[in-house]
Structure formats: C-alpha cells, structure tokens
Amino acid sequence: MQPRSGNPALQNGLLFGLILGVVETALIFLLGFVGFVLNVILFLFLVGFAGYRASSRTGRTGTGVLTGFLTGLISSVIPSVVLLIFSLGNIDALRQQLQQSANNLNQGIAIDYTNNVVIALVLLFLVILVVGACLLALGVGAIGGAIGKGRVPVSSIPQYPGPMYMPPPPYPPQGYAPPPQEYIPSQQEYMPPPPRDNN
C-alpha cells in the first residue's frame, strides 16, 4: 500500500467537518433538544473517526489531533453562523422571550434587554460553543489518532535511509601513469652531495 498524496489532516478535517456541520444544523432545527443530544454523540464519534482515519495514513498521533481540531472547528462554525443569522432575523421575538424569562426568574429586579444586548449574548454564546467544541475535538482526535497510528501499514510509512558508506577511491587514482620501472635521473637532475669538511 502506497501512501496517498495530500495532507490527511486537512482532507479529513474538511470532509468530516462539513458533513458534521450540515447534519448538526439540520438536527438542531428539526429535533430541538433531542437533536442537540444526538449532535453530541455524533460529534464524538465522527471526530474520533476522523482522527483515526488520518493517523492511519501517517502513523503519527499529531495528525489525529490536528484533524480533530479542524473537524471540531468547521463543524461548530457552520451551525453557529446559521444560528446567528436566524437570531438576527428573529431578534425581536428572541428579546421578548429573554425578557419574559428574566422577569420570571428575577422577581423584583428589573432587567431590560435591548436588541444590542441580545446580539452580544448570542455572539458570546456562539464563541463559547466554538471554543468548547474545538477543545473537546482536540482530546477526541488525540484518542482516535493514538488508535489509528498503530493501524498504518509498514509499507506506507516513508522510509529514510541512513548515512550511506562510501568506500575510499582506489589508489593509485584511475588514469594515473606510474613512473617507469628503471628510472635513472639525468645528469641535470642529479645533484651530488656537498663535500664534507674533515677539519
């Protein structure tokens, strides 16, 4: 099995993040609280599976962690944007609902909700939701990656050869003409030793 090209973390994060984000949005609007519970279960399963799938291609747990983070980020941003648009379109009804709930809970304490306050509360809630989903996805992706890294085929892990031993070149070097066997220096090349002083 040869390793496939591309970035496994990015590929799986985008794929499962988009799928999970669309399904989560549909379940929230169709089933309400039951859809929220199903979303949590589906989130844990798909994020873990995405981390497992990515790490099984690289043999590294870090790939699963990154995949889980991307999956959690994308899958939480999609429904958050949809909820923000829905809240802005129904801001008056949402403000009245919050005002009524505040009046029922805080007897004798007057709290006046304005549209700006409601928008700020919605944004704060969505930011907390995205951050929490990303943190949870990091842990679940790490678990999936730890399981998946042991499933990678040995042949798909890039093998890096160690330092290669290069034998020294033969001596004498190739193309070197050896001196003649019977070499006699010429008279010009021969220098007699200096005379010795016996005194």
Say if 37 falls within a structural domain: yes
Asked if 40 contacts 56 with a C-beta cutoff of 8 angstroms, the reply is no
- Among 10-24, 76-90, 104-118, 125-139, name the one with the lowest average pLDDT: 104-118
Say if 184 falls within a structural domain: no
Write down the pLDDT at residue 22. Answer: 93
User: pTM for this one?
Assistant: 0.67
**pLDDT higher than threshold 70 for residue 171:** no
Say if 55 falls within a structural domain: yes
Question: What residues make up the domain containing 24?
Answer: 8-154
Structural tokens at position 116: 């700006």
**pLDDT higher than threshold 50 for residue 48:** yes
More confident residue, 155 or 99: 99
pLDDT digit string, tens, across residues 105-149:
766 566 777 888 888 888 999 999 999 999 999 999 999 989 988
pLDDT category of residue 185 using cuts at 50, 70 and 90: low
Exposed/middle/buried for 140, CB within 10 Å: 0-12, 13-18, 19+? buried
- Compute the mean pLDDT over every residue in the chain, rounded to the nearest whole number: 80
Say if 182 falls within a structural domain: no
Write down the pLDDT at residue 2. Answer: 38
Cβ burial 109-119 (10 Å sphere, 16+ → b, else e):
eeeebeeeebb
**pLDDT higher than threshold 90 for residue 31:** no
How many domains does the structure of the chain reveal? Answer: 1
Say if 197 falls within a structural domain: no
Query: DSSP per residue over the chain, as a string?
Result: -PPPSS-HHHHHHHHHHHHHHHHHHHHHHHHTHHHHHHHHHHHHHHHHHHHHHHHHHH--HHHHHHHHHHHHHHHHHHHHHHHHHHHHHTHHHHHHHHHHHHHHHSTT------HHHHHHHHHHHHHHHHHHHHHHHHHHHHHHHHHHGGGS-GGGSPP---PPP-PPPPSSPTTPPPPPSS----TTT--PPPPPP--
Write down the pLDDT at residue 18. Answer: 94
Say if 65 falls within a structural domain: yes
Say if 186 falls within a structural domain: no
Say if 149 falls within a structural domain: yes
